[in-house]
Amino acid sequence: MQLVIVESPAKAKTIEKYLGPGYKVLASYGHIRDLPVKDGSVRPDEDFAMDWELYGDKQSRVKAITDAAKEADGLILATDPDREGEAISWHVRELLAKRRALPKNVSRVTFNAITKPAVTSAMKAPRELDQDLIDAYLARRALDYLFGFTLSPVLWRKLPGAKSAGRVQSVALRLIVEREREIETFKAQEYWSVAARMEHDGTPFVARLVKFDGNKLDRLSLGEEGSALAAKAAVEAGTFRVEDVDVRPTRRNPSPPFTTSTLQQEAARKLGFSASHTMRVAQTLYEAGAITYMRTDGVQMDPSAIDAARRAISDRYNGHFLPEKPRHYETKAKNAQEAHEAIRPTDFTRDVYGSGDEARLYNLIWKRALASQMASAAIERTTVTLREGTGKHELRATGQVIKFPGFLAVYEEGRDQKADGDDEDGNLLPMLNKGDCPVKHGVDATQHFTQPPPRYSEASLVKRLEELGIGRPSTYAATLQVLKDRNYVRTEKNRFFAEESGRMLTAFLERFFERYVAYEFTAGMEDELDDVSGGRAAWKQVLAEFWRDFKPKSDEVMEKKPSEVTAELDVFLEDYLFPPRADGHDPRECPKCGAGRLSLRGGRFGAFIACSNYPECKFTRKFAQPGGNGEGGDGEETGLGKDPETGLEVTRRTGRFGPYIQLGEGKDAKRASIPKDVPELDLEWALKLLSLPREVGVHPESGKPITAAIGRYGPYLAHDGKYARLKSTAEVFDTGMNAAVVRLAEAASGAGGRGARTAAEPLKTFGPHPTSGGEIKLMAGRYGPYVTDGTTNATLPRDKQPESLTPAEAIALIDERAAKGPAKGKKKAPAKKAAAPKKAAAKKEPAAKKEPAAKKAPAAKKAPARKKAAAE
């Protein structure tokens, strides 16, 4: 019997079916061991000796592999065809050798697709384990461990609130933070454009002013309204004739098939998937044999696959869509390793596979791969120049016509958000000839402002990391997830925003570990690690050169006092924290007392700005709230008036945790946060907020008081230890006795407030469900967001952002949940009948266990997690 080891049970089942009798295929479920999470797991002083520890949940799995290995005639290691796959095979071999269960014959096989021809052909070409790939894995794992376990203790002691740093993760964070700084320092410039609305032969078109008073205009030439109106008047008064028509035929070539990073980028743009979700779905498709291996830098397809793609093109389209010769691609990405094929379908005749997100991602992969072998698109770009009689003013109209779609009939690559400027290439122009005088229907002068660079999306950040040669495409999903999990960044509308903790960490690393978060250094380390995998460098030598400089630097920073670190960061960040003020005053002058100076301080909850006259002056400001305009500090209070009862001043202030109102001064002052839904804060509203909690009345049954207040999770009613949510701040003051009793009763009747939850407003609605007819709603549930059609509730996957959910995805989630079985109430009905026939009850039990949707989520998440060693 031959024992075959793969990573996942889905692969094991499929491959065992392909191989038939004489083979036993077992799954390792990813990596079986890793470096223990403690100091000393990598010992540089002992020639980088490394300790390995079996994962706690892999004991039974490894025992099964060990028992089978003892009875096997040979061991075939058939894990994934990349560095991590090689590492898993190495770990299995080493562990079996240590347990004296290693068969005499050990071989390694790899296949790029889980199809019968690919698997059986791989079995005929076994090889030895690739020691260079194993060394590259050891180098990366040790390097990331040494970076994290050396730097993280420095952060914990010197930078309160920081959680960890990573070799690639910290550089990715720096990109996000630097973009945030660019946006904050950006100064918008006003500019105007002038365009004439024209028509010729019944076809309307727009022509923009490109020359005024003999001067060529660039985007910012018309910088204010006066010059724009003068230009508009000149265009209105002039008669414009066609001076030149420039028609240029061009060709657009298709993009190559997907690599890991381009798949992540396009899935983010077109499907709204996060990088981690894309990889999970792709893993499922790969294990099902639908696509080739999804961790690859290569853009080339196997010759047999190219032939299959060309056959599929000729079957679907006429001969014009098939180029004479097959297309061959070469990667342009820095540090690319083209050991594997691009990502493609294993069967080009199958244009649909699976359902839900699997079907959507498969369709994207199929289209991109098919289009990569199709004919170029023929495009005609036209530029029309119109000149006024004096020759001083010119208009220009541009447009394009697709003469032959070619690959565009199947697929067009998405684009990231564009910078300032309109794209006019898609405009349709009439047939114009020199001397024509189109009809002018009107002239518009439009005001614009230059826009800051857009924040990174997952797609654009992955693209930028790849351009810089930082990290590997297979690790990007895990790297970005770490940044989210550590709360260094947050995502809104699929864009990254740097949090305070992320900004502070980046500043700390730039000041004290500048070399190690430099883009060139990190990309250079990737080059060295690639040299190891290519057998051009010794892995321990690479580690030694890194450790020689990194360890003394970390020791040096560790010796500094936290106050010294804060003082140096205060100087390092001066331009950002204390920019010049418009009134010319010292930006460090305390706006409250006028005598103290502002500086950066460190606290248990992170960094903030404070006055040097503390405790006499208690002015503070958030770290990530640059000064210069004097806004937002505690001392910048706005007087709202005096409390008529006490005569004390009521002020509006902004503290480290947001805006609030304060009555009086000193330790006896009363404070209240300002809810976001307060329409316009005035003295009346301030006094109402300061008066909380409000007693609504005495409950008619218990005789105990009902109170209304605003808590950590919003407005609520309270009575005898029971609570009911309110929808708005206004309801805290408007809810009367009868309504309060009803609300509390509704909350109590629904298993701890379920009735109140079901009455909540939907976050989003998607219209009627095509089958059930019920309105599809996105709701905020106790255990996270979910979608419902009134009959079936389906929880959103953990990595799915509610704001990016599409109607099609909502329908797919509901249908998938409904397909798993009837509602709980219907399942419990047989149990009532049947204390009697126990066998019937037993038969029903497995179906009940199948009920929770959450059961499938861990399986989907397991696949990428097995690349754990690659994560930061």
Residues annotated catalytic, as ranges = 293
Structure tokens at 62: 């490894």
Strand-pairing partners, residue 216, are 211
Q: How many CB atoms lie within 10 A of CB 775?
A: 14
- Please name which of 173, 169, 185 lies closest in space to residue 502, comparing C-alpha atoms: 173
Burial class (CB in 10 A: 0-12, 13-18, 19+), 324: exposed
Structure tokens at 417: 């958000």
H or E segment to which residue 278 belongs: helix 275-287
3-state helix vs strand vs coil in the chain, percent to 5? 40, 20, 35
Strand-pairing partners, residue 658, are 655
- DSSP for 416-460, written as a single string: PPP-SS---TT-------TT--PEEEEEEEEEEE--PPPPPBHHH
Encoded amino acid at 379, one letter: I
Contacts of 769-772 with C-beta under 8 Å, sequence gap 24+, read: 769/811, 769/814, 770/811, 771/815
Q: What's the farthest any 2 CA atoms get from each other in the chain?
A: 102
Are the C-beta atoms of 637 and 662 separated by less than 8 Å?
Answer: yes
Residue corresponding to tokens 């979608």: 787
Are the C-beta atoms of 273 and 494 separated by less than 8 Å?
Answer: no
- The bridge status of strand 620-622 relative to strand 215-216 is unpaired
Q: At what angle do helices 131-158 and 562-572 cross, to 10 degrees?
A: 100
Structure tokens at 689: 């907020």
Structure tokens at 451: 């826009």
Buried b (16+ CB within 10 A) or exposed e, 360-389: bbbbbbbbbbbbbbbbbbbbeebbbbbbbe
Q: What is the 3-state secondary structure (H, E, C) of 57-105?
A: HHHHHHHHHHHHHHHCCEEEECCCCCHHHHHHHHHHHHHHHHCCCCCCE
Q: At what angle do helices 9-19 and 116-123 cross, to 10 degrees?
A: 80
Distance CA 21, CA 17 (A): 9
Are the C-beta atoms of 714 and 692 separated by less than 8 Å?
Answer: no
Encoded amino acid at 768, one letter: P
Distance CA 740, CA 728 (A): 14
Distance CA 456, CA 416 (A): 10
φ and ψ of 751, to 5 deg: 55, 65
Report the phi/psi class of residue 161: left, alpha or beta, with left for phi > 0 and alpha for psi in -120 to 50: left
Task: Report in angstroms the alpha-carbon separations of 13 from 29, 150, 559.
Answer: 13, 42, 56
- DSSP for 168-219, written as a single string: THHHHHHHHHHHHHHHHH----EEEEEEEEEEETTEEEEEEEEEETTEE--T
Q: What is the 3-state secondary structure (H, E, C) of 109-159?
A: CCCCECCHHHHHHHHCCCECCCHHHHHHHHHHHHHHHHHHHHHHHHHHHHC
